[in-house]
Chains A and B, each alone.
Chain A
Amino acid sequence: MQPSLERHAHLIDFAISSLLRRKGKNLSLLAVYVLIVFVIASLILFVQALRREASLVLTGAPEIVVQRMVAGRHDLIPVSYGADIVSIRGVSEVVPRFWGYYYDPVFGANYTLMVPDQSPPAEGTIVIGPGVARNQRVKSGDLLTFRGASLQPLLLTVGQILPQQSELVATDLITLSAADFQAMFRLPPGTATDLAVKVANPREVATVAAKIAERFPDTRPITRSEILATYDALFDWRSGMMVVILGTAVLCFIICAWDKATGLSAEERREIGILKSIGWETTDVLLLKFWEGTVISLTAFLAGLSLAYAHVFFFSAGLFQHALKGWAVIYPDFRLTPSLDPYQLGILFFLSVVPFVAATIVPSWLAATTDPDSAMRS
């Protein structure tokens, strides 16, 4: 081994022996440190993967969705608006969307019901999302009972259960025929939930949306870029729960670093004094302290990051599930697409390793520059 590497190997030997002399304190510090890195890294990986998923999957969402607003609330829109909207230059198609929510009082679950305009299920048949099948414990061919608009029971046969891959977009989705939808909700004739507008040229979407809002003052056009922006803001650090989790983790980290930075114990001070008196240079002491800080912080960073990766991508962020699920009865059983963003890992590294190493070195530097005799006596 090269002499310089050998020197560092000896320093690491000494640093580990020194840390092991205060085994209880340093092991508990390492455990807390791993936990903090684990929580922050899990959040970063989870949020990044979800945002990526949303940005890729929702590119197929309608270019513009036109809602009607009445007294500040979303209301049913006359299908006749579509005929006017399609006459706007740049609009190639306007399709009314029929969808709504159904609360199942037996299972306490909310479902999203929708009539697909392309190949809807036959009358009396439904296609259900995997979450609905799990919740109701039904399989293809089983009957499901719903309550119609006039409280009459509506028996529908499960024609198909959507595959597991659909969990993140359709776990609670039930698609049905227009006749069954009408029997369930009895929408006034000539109305739809909203209108999906297709614009041939993506660069004209904003102009078309402005024209729709101008021509129909009671409507609210929602563009695809706004839908994507909503999901980009999902789990934004400013949102309530994120502030609490990140704030707590950062505070824990500050307490750890503060404990290190506010000074050395009498034993550590004496140790530095002895090292200086037997001939160690100040740079040697600082290198020793650098390795002490690195051994703890790098180990915690790598262990916390590895655990976070396994937690998010192998165990579907199980620890966050209870918080994310809230009071929902149906929660998607999804597996996120694994990805590691070097930029975010770099930020996590510089936030977790560098300040801790600095907080270890600075007080040691102050102690190492004092007279060995007074350092030993203090």
Chain B
Amino acid sequence: MAHIRPSRWYMLVTGAALGFVVAAGFHASLNKDADQMDLLYRADLVRRHRLTDLSLFTEARYTRHPAMADLHSAFQDHPMALEHFPSGSFISPPALLKRNHATKP
């Protein structure tokens, strides 16, 4: 078998890896139509049922509906606050907290 130079091997491996990354980009755009249909279905479900949150964390009410959680939920106090539920540590304080909720006199 002919000896292949290390530089050729490196170019081949790098080319293949680069090809995978480019293919990943194509994969993302190829599936766009099917993914778009799924997205539209979810958006329609949200609109019809008047949903407000993703069902990503179901372990506690304030992680199931972070947008609806009341202002005194544990994890919203501070991102590094001691948190009872693990998923609470993934979410930083919502924008709501930056707003002044006090009623104007």
A residues sitting closer than 8 Å to B (CB atoms) are 9-10, 12-13, 16-17, 20, 50, 53-54, 56-62, 65, 67, 69, 72-74, 95, 97, 101, 109-110, 112, 114, 116-118, 129, 131, 162-163, 165-173, 175, 194, 196, 213-214, 217, 220, 222, 226-227, 229-236, 238-243, 295, 298-299, 302-303, 305-306, 309, 313, 323-332, 337-340
A240 touches B79 (CB 8 A): yes
* A234 smallest CB distance to B (angstroms): 6
Among A109, A112, A172, the one with the most B-chain Cβ atoms within 10 Å of its Cβ is: A112
Given contacts A236-B92, A324-B90, A328-B58, contact A65 B68 (CB under 8 A): yes
Partner of A16, one of B6, B91, B99: B6
B7 CB to nearest chain A CB (Å): 4
Q: Determine whether B51 belongs to the interface, using a CB cutoff of 8 Å to chain A.
A: yes
From residue B72, how far is it (CB to closest CB) to chain A in Å? 5
Known: A118-B48, A172-B55, A332-B55. A165 touches B41 (CB 8 A): yes
Interface residues of B in 1-56 (CB under 8 A from A): 5-11, 13-14, 17-18, 20-21, 24-25, 27-28, 31, 35, 37-39, 41-56
Contact bitstring B48-85, A, C-beta under 8 A = 1, else 0: 11111111111111011111101110000001100101
A338 in contact with B91 (CB, 8 Å): no
**Given A59-B43, A222-B67, A326-B86, A110 contacting B54 (CB threshold 8 A):** no
A sample of 26 inter-chain contacts (CB < 8 A) reads A13-B7, A53-B54, A57-B43, A60-B47, A67-B70, A109-B58, A116-B48, A129-B55, A170-B55, A172-B55, A173-B51, A222-B96, A226-B99, A227-B53, A233-B92, A233-B93, A233-B94, A233-B95, A236-B92, A240-B90, A241-B90, A302-B20, A303-B17, A305-B21, A326-B57, A339-B28
Name the distance in Å between A191's Cβ and chain B's nearest Cβ: 17
* CA–CA, A67 and B14, complex, Å: 56
Residues of A within 8 A of B28 (CB): 313, 338-340
The 7 closest A-B pairs by CB, nearest first: A60-B47, A240-B89, A326-B86, A302-B17, A229-B95, A328-B59, A12-B7
Please name 7 further chain A to chain B contacts, defined as beta carbons within 8 Å, in addition to the given A53-B54, A238-B92, sorted by A numbering.
A9-B5, A13-B6, A16-B6, A116-B49, A168-B56, A173-B49, A239-B89
A60 B43 Cβ-Cβ under 8 A: yes
Known: A95-B50, A222-B96, A332-B55. A170 touches B68 (CB 8 A): no
Q: Which residues of B contact A231 (CB under 8 A)?
A: 54, 66-67
B91 touches A324 (CB 8 A): no
Contact among A10, A50, A242, A337 for B39, CB-based, below 8 A = A337
Instruction: Report which B residues bind A (CB closer than 8 A).
Output: 5-11, 13-14, 17-18, 20-21, 24-25, 27-28, 31, 35, 37-39, 41-61, 63-68, 70-72, 79-80, 83, 85-96, 99, 101, 103-104
Q: Give, as a whole number of angstroms, the nearest-CB distance from A100 to chain B.
A: 9
CA distance A211 to B67 in the complex (A): 21
Assess whether A169 is in contact with B86, with CB atoms less than 8 Å apart.
no
List the A side residues contacting B59 at CB < 8 Å: 110, 326-328
- Minimum CB distance partner of B32 in chain A: A337
CB distance from A137 to the nearest CB of B (A): 17
B41 touching A166, Cβ below 8 Å: yes
Q: Is the CB of A229 within 8 A of B21?
A: no
Residues in B with CB closer than 8 Å to A302 are 14, 17-18, 20-21
Closest Cβ–Cβ distance, residue A272 to chain B (whole Å)? 20
Nearest CB in chain A: distance from B70 CB, A = 4
Across the interface, do A61 and B55 meet the contact criterion of CB distance under 8 Å?
Answer: no
Q: Once bound together, how far apart are the Cα atoms of A86 and B78, in whole Å? A: 36
- Beta-carbon contact of B86 and A230 below 8 Å: no
State the CA gap A65–B50 with chains docked (Å). Answer: 10
Asked if B53 and A299 sit within 8 Å, CB to CB, the answer is: no
Q: Are A217 and B103 in contact (CB under 8 A)?
A: yes
In the assembled complex, the Cα of A81 lies from the Cα of B7 at a distance in Å of 75
| B89 with A227: CB separation less than 8 A | no
Chain A residues whose C-beta falls within 8 Å of the C-beta of B99 in the assembled complex: 226
